[in-house]
Amino acid sequence: MKQQKLIGTLAITSVLALALGGCAATGDNGGGDKGNGGDKGPETKAADYNPQPRENLKEGGKVNFPINQIPEQLNAFNSDATADTARIAAWYMPQVMLMKPDGTPYKNDAYLDEWKQEVKDGKTVLTFTFTKDAHWNDGTDMDWTAIDATWKANRSSEDGFNPNATDGYADIESVKQGDTAKTAIVTFKSEFAWPQMPFLTGVIHPKLAEVKNFNEAMIKNPHPEWGAGPYTINKFDANAQFVSFKPNPEWWGDKPLLDEVTFTGMDAQASINAFKNGEIDTVGANTKDRLAQLADVKDTVTYRAQQTAKTIMMIDSKKPNLSDVKVRAAFVKAIDVEQQKKIAWNGLDYSEAPTGSLSLYPFQDGYKDSFKTAGFVHDPAEAKKLLDEAGWKEGKDGYREKDGKTLEIVYPVFSDDPTQSALAKALQAQEKEVGIKLTIDVRPSAKFADDLNTKNWDVIGLRLTDSDPFGVAWFCQIYCSDSGLNTSGVGTPEFDKKIKEIQAISDPKKQIEAAMEYEPTILKQWGIIALYSGPSITVAKKGLANLTPEPYVGLDLFGVQPVENVGWEK
Residue 395 has pLDDT above 90, yes or no: yes
Question: Which long-range contacts does 361-369 make (Cβ < 8 Å, 24+ apart)?
Answer: 361/308, 361/533, 364/469, 364/471, 365/512, 366/471, 366/509, 366/512, 366/513, 366/516, 367/516, 368/516, 368/519
Going by C-alpha positions, the residue among 275, 296, 306 that lies closest to residue 63 is 275
Give the span between the Cα atoms of 247 and 262, in whole angstroms.
12
Domains of the chain, by residue range, sit at 309-532
The percentage of residues in the chain with a pLDDT greater than 90, rounded to a whole number, is 78
Question: Between residues 1 and 168, which one has the greater pLDDT?
Answer: 168
pLDDT in tens, 504-532: 999 999 999 999 999 999 999 999 999 99
Report pLDDT for 24.
24
pLDDT band at 27 (very low <50, low <70, confident <90, very high): very low
Report pLDDT for 56.
98
DSSP 506: -
Going by C-alpha positions, the residue among 341, 321, 325 that lies closest to residue 333 is 325
Give the span between the Cα atoms of 152 and 140, in whole angstroms.
19
Q: How far is residue 391 from each of residues 327, 404, 405, measured CA to CA in Å?
A: 10, 12, 12
Q: Looking at this protein, which amino acid is placed at residue 320?
A: P
| Residues 134/142, Cβ–Cβ less than 8 Å | yes
Phi, psi of 560 (to 5 degrees): -130, 115
CATH architecture, domain 309-532: Roll (3.10)
Give the span between the Cα atoms of 349 and 345, in whole angstroms.
7
Coil, strand or helix: which one is 222? coil
pLDDT band at 41 (very low <50, low <70, confident <90, very high): low
CB atoms within 10 A of CB 92: 26
Please provide the average confidence, as pLDDT, over all residues in the chain.
Answer: 90
Give the span between the Cα atoms of 242 and 263, in whole angstroms.
6
pLDDT band at 4 (very low <50, low <70, confident <90, very high): very low
β 408-413/437-442 pair status: parallel
Residue 330 has pLDDT above 70, yes or no: yes
Report pLDDT for 82.
84
Report pLDDT for 405.
96
pLDDT in tens, 105-139: 999 999 999 999 999 999 999 999 999 999 999 99
pLDDT band at 484 (very low <50, low <70, confident <90, very high): confident
Give the span between the Cα atoms of 462 and 568, in whole angstroms.
33
DSSP 179: S
- Which range, of 204-218, 255-269, 481-495, averages the lowest pLDDT? 481-495
pLDDT in tens, 201-258: 899 999 999 999 999 999 999 999 999 999 999 999 999 999 999 999 999 999 999 9
Report pLDDT for 482.
83
β 535-541/544-545 pair status: unpaired
Report pLDDT for 40.
52
Coil, strand or helix: which one is 264? strand
Give the span between the Cα atoms of 380 and 519, in whole angstroms.
24
CA torsion sign for 326, 314, 530, 6 is negative
Residue 501 contacts by C-beta under 8 Å, 6 or more apart in sequence?
A: none
Give the span between the Cα atoms of 83 and 222, in whole angstroms.
15
Coil, strand or helix: which one is 271? helix
